[in-house]
Amino acid sequence: MIADIRCGRLDPEEIRQNFSELHPPLTELQAIQESARCLFCHDAPCTEACPTDIDIPGFIRKIASGNLTGAAKTILGENIMGNTCGNVCPVEELCEQVCVKNTAEEKPVVIGQLQRYATDHVLENWIQLFKRAPVSGKKIAVVGGGPAGLSCAHRLAMLGHNVTIYESRDEPGGLNEYGLAAYKMLDNRAAREVAYILDIGGINLETGKTLGEDFDLAQLRRQYDAVFIGLGHNSVKTLGIENENVDGVYNAVDFIELIRQEELSTLPVGRNVVVIGGGNTAIDIAVQIKKLGAETVTMVYRRGFDEMGATEFEQQVAQTNGVLIRTHAQPHRILSENDQLTAVEFEYTEKSANGQLAGTGETFVLPADQLFKAIGQALDAAPLDSDEKPEASGGRIKVDEFQHTSLPDVWAGGDCTAGKDLTVTAVQDGKIAALSINEYLNHG
């Protein structure tokens, strides 16, 4: 046997425990104690730092007074995916980073967990907080049922417009459903949130319908008063080295999708696993494959820790789960036997005087049964081909501050446009675009 890849390296119960939630929900007592720690700052730096402008002291005050429905309304009124965001936002770089409690002695208020606590209340009890304005008679097409598309659709529906979401997959949710780490999005949280969003009414969801295959942009522009594009990243970057297609080499995002969709004990797991990349996708696959029972997991990044896309917190999550992170090395060769991966050769890197990264010529080899490529995703603009295409910039769809593209009736947002590539920023893009579309429909 060349490769040691097996399903069920751990028994199902051990796997289940390994995939328990990163941040378990707060108890009522914890939520009350935590909300009492908030100083309700007048200038609220946390609200400034939240990409969706949630009035954070406002919702925490409502939790403190036992008004969970009111707290959830404050959150979801700005960020309809506030439940997911409470779980997955890199709060250590957003709202919690600027909390004034952040001192040597004290930790910040756990804003994300409080946000989840309040929104769980309305989702679990199915309290619909939003209703539609009188029907406007306007029709908008939304392409992509991820966070950007869903947020845009929800806000447009609230404003009384009729929306059709075209989603190429069988299920909506985008990376919330297929990408976020399983230990951040347990059970059916993503689907529950989508159901809550659609429950407002006025949103027709068409799954299995792909822009660029089943219809093109020109058709949508003829049929609808406005179009929003939220395609996300629809392609992955390649290493560009020999043997990239041998057995045992995977795109991390494809395997992460299996982790979210399949029975965990049926997934193939190598004894020795190598992950290439330094972003959150690299961390997510490294941690999850370790939780599935891989013996060694080594994540290799070409630059230093300080230049990693993954936050310091995510790096710690990897390390505390037994992932070894090696820096300053780039893949040089993929070694194989009979078309099966056996090892990866890396070359050390250093920065030259002009700041450019270059190989030093020194190499090392890591034995590998599985190799996961997590070096980034990108936008493949082919689905946008039409008689008129929105302008692009830096490989993404170019938009202005209102998420408006170069075409008068087309808006875009989320990962297919420039930005931070987070769930919370995609939600904000969708919301801003919806408000701008509403303005356009009402005033031209």
Ligand X SMILES: Cc1cc2nc3c(=O)[nH]c(=O)nc-3n(C[C@H](O)[C@H](O)[C@H](O)COP(=O)(O)OP(=O)(O)OC[C@H]3O[C@@H](n4cnc5c(N)ncnc54)[C@H](O)[C@@H]3O)c2cc1C
Q: Report the interface residues with ligand X, using CB under 6 A.
A: 88-89, 143-149, 166-169, 174-175, 179-180, 184, 210-212, 230-234, 253, 256, 280-281, 284, 383, 414-415, 421-424, 426
- CB of residue 129 to ligand SF4, shortest distance in Å: 16
115 binding partner (options ligand X, ligand SF4, none; Cβ < 5 to 8 Å by kind): ligand SF4
Q: How far apart are CA 8 and CA 25, in angstroms?
A: 28
Of residues 18, 52, 315, 370, which one binds ligand SF4 by CB under 6 A?
A: 52
**Residue 79, interface with ligand SF4 (CB under 6 A)?**
yes
Q: Tokens 């969706």: give the residue.
A: 52
Residue 95 C-beta: closest distance to ligand SF4, Å: 3
Minimum Å distance from CB 211 to ligand X? 4
149 contacts 193 by C-beta, under 8 angstroms: no
**Residue 38 or 150 having the CB closest to ligand X:** 150
Shortest separation between residue 239's beta carbon and ligand X, angstroms? 17
Q: Taking CB under 6 A as the rule, does residue 89 contact ligand SF4? A: yes
Beta bridge partners of 226: 140
Using an 8 Å Cβ cutoff, are 162 and 176 in contact? no
Amino acid at site 272: N
Residue 112 contact, options ligand X, ligand SF4, none, Cβ 5-8 Å cut-off depending on partner type: ligand SF4
Q: Which does residue 277 touch among ligand X, ligand SF4, none (CB within 5 to 8 A, set by kind)?
A: none
Stretch that binds ligand SF4, among 91-99, 146-154, 155-163, 241-249 (CB under 6 A): 91-99
Dig out the tokens for 104 from the structure. 């040597």
Q: Report, in Å, the least distance between residue 404 CB and ligand X.
A: 16
Sort 263 into a burial class: Cβ within 10 Å, 0-12 / 13-18 / 19+: exposed
111 near ligand SF4, rule: CB under 6 A: yes
Chosen from ligand X, ligand SF4, none, partner binding at 50 (C-beta under 5 to 8 Å by type): ligand SF4
Partner from ligand SF4, ligand X, none binding residue 294, C-beta < 5-8 Å depending on class: none
Instruction: Say what angle helices 252-261 and 280-291 make with each other, to 10 degrees.
Output: 50
Interface with ligand SF4, residue 109, by CB under 6 A = no
> Judged by CB under 6 A, which of 31, 54, 110, 182 binds ligand SF4?
54
Cα(137)–Cα(152) distance, integer angstroms: 17
Residue 184: closest CA among 25, 63, 44: 25
Whole-angstrom distance, CA of residue 122 vs CA of residue 394: 40
Give residue 168's Cα distance to chain centre. Answer: 18
Q: Min. distance of Cβ 384 from ligand X in angstroms?
A: 9
The listed partner (ligand X, ligand SF4, none) that binds 423, CB under 5 to 8 Å by sort, is: ligand X
Q: Select from 60, 95, 99, 211 the one that contacts ligand SF4 (CB under 6 A).
A: 95
User: Binding to ligand SF4 by residue 56, rule CB under 6 A?
Assistant: yes
CB of 24 to ligand SF4, least distance (A): 16
Out of 15, 26, 50, 76, name the contact with ligand SF4 by CB under 6 A: 50
Please pick, from the candidates 35, 74, 83, 115, the single residue that binds ligand SF4 as defined by CB under 6 A: 115
Site string for ligand SF4, 412-431 (x = CB under 6 A): ------------x-------
Report CA dihedral (165, 169, 174, 178) to the nearest 10 degrees.
Answer: 160
86 binds, among ligand SF4, ligand X, none (CB under 5 to 8 A by kind): ligand SF4
Q: Is 275 in contact with 282 (CB distance < 8 Å)?
A: yes
Spatial contact of 347 and 353, defined as CB atoms under 8 Å apart: no
Q: In terms of CB distance, is 51 or 383 closer to ligand SF4?
A: 51
Stretch that binds ligand SF4, among 52-60, 231-239, 260-268, 312-320 (CB under 6 A): 52-60
Choose, by CB under 6 A, the member of 57, 86, 278, 293 that binds ligand SF4: 86
> Rule CB under 6 A: which residues touch ligand SF4?
50, 52, 54, 56, 79, 82, 85-86, 89, 91, 94-95, 111-112, 115, 424
